[in-house]
Amino acid sequence: MNLANKALATLSFVLLIAIWQGLALYINNNTLPTPVVVMQVFWQEIESGQLPHHLGVTLLRLIASFSIAMFLGCAIGIILGRNKKLDAFFDNWLVIFLNIPALVTIILCYVWFGLIESSAILAVVINKLPNVIVTIREGTKALDKDLLEMARCYHFSKKKTFLHVIWPQLHPFVMAATRSGLALIWKIILVVELLGRSDGMGYQIHLFFQLFDVASILAYTIAFIAVIQSIELLILKPLDKKALRWKR
């Protein structure tokens, strides 16, 4: 990003805050607190340790369910992408799982396995898994046959073929699944917590809803956005940069 673009981005951000401030002053009501009030609540919650605790719990759930979904999804996606018969067989299953509403999976998991941590994680994984599988499967189908032939001709071992021929081609698909996955899991995990957990962001927001405490809800939302942005900037962007350095 050049300087002019950076200035533009900053300006748009300031404008957003200004609109919020203006609206809040105009409405002048507890349902929309001003940015300053929200920031005060934000600091209070951090100092009391409430926000870090609940955010941490949610983050842990996110990491667990995201890792399981990505690992299983990549493995199954590659297998389906490489095997036409299996793909034809399981395609229907995928369509069905893709279309089950998240809320239904969550409720069924709680009903069948109880209000426990593992059923919360399972519900998130089931929601995310089909997406990963489909993305990685399409990536696997698009693998360059010329390069695979080359690898076969030069007797690349299975491991070598995977690491040096297949994985670099899947990288953009894995990154797409990661980004869309984080966004999706963040949203689902709150519902999971709201319905059946006694800690985490979802639980807290539910609590604030009952108290009609909009300032706290907004304060938690800001923390939320900040975390996602730092994952993007500190982990995903550098990963992209390193993996794509060969591109013209």
Partner 1 sequence: MSDIHIDIQNKTYTTADAQQHTAISDLKLTLAENKFVCLVGPSGCGKTTLLNIIANLDTQYQGEIALGLNHKKPNIGYIFQNPRLLPWRTVRENIELALDNAQPEIIDSLLEAMQLTHIQHNYPEHLSLGMSRRISIIRAFAINPDILLMDEPFVSLDAPTARQVRGLLMELWQQRPHTILFVTHDLREAIALADRLVFLSASPMSVVSEIDVDIPRADRDDEHIIESFRQHLLNHYPEIKELL
Please state the closest distance from residue 133 (CB atom) to partner 1, in A. 24
CA atoms within 13 A on the CB side of 187: 9
Closest CA to 214 of 31, 72, 27: 31
- 107 or 147, CB closer to partner 1? 147
C-beta closer to partner 1: residue 160 or 237: 160
CB of 246 to partner 1, least distance (A): 4
**Nearby residues of 76 by Cβ (< 8 Å), 6 or more positions away:** 129, 133, 136
- The nearer residue to partner 1, 85 or 247, going by C-beta atoms, is 247
Residue 200 contacts residue 61 (beta carbons within 8 Å): yes
CB of 181 to partner 1, least distance (A): 23
Least distance to partner 1, CB of residue 158, Å: 14
Asked whether 109 and 76 are in contact (CB, 8 A), the reply is: no
Cβ proximity to partner 1, 141 vs 152, nearer residue: 152
Whose Cβ is closer to partner 1: residue 14's or residue 142's?
Answer: 142
User: Which residues contact partner 1 by CB under 8 A?
Assistant: 146-147, 149-150, 152-156, 160, 164-165, 168, 243, 245-248
The nearest distance, CB 77 to partner 1, in angstroms, is 20
Rank residues 52 and 172 by Cβ distance to partner 1 and give the closer one: 172
Query: What is the closest distance, in whole angstroms, from the C-beta atom of residue 240 to partner 1 in the complex?
Result: 13
Tell the smallest beta-carbon distance from residue 89 to partner 1 (Å): 23
Is residue 131 within 8 A of residue 180, CB to CB? The reply is: yes
CA dist list (Å): 184 to 129, 131, 147, 188, 228:
11, 10, 34, 6, 12
Q: Which is nearer to partner 1, 84 or 164 (CB)?
A: 164
What number of other Cβ atoms are within 10 A of residue 13's Cβ?
A: 10
Instruction: Give the integer Cα–Cα distance in Å for 119 and 195.
Output: 12
Q: Do the Cβ atoms of 228 and 66 come closer than 8 Å?
A: no
Task: Give the C-alpha separation, 73 to 79, whole Å.
Answer: 10
Q: What are phi and psi of 138, to 5 degrees?
A: -60, -40
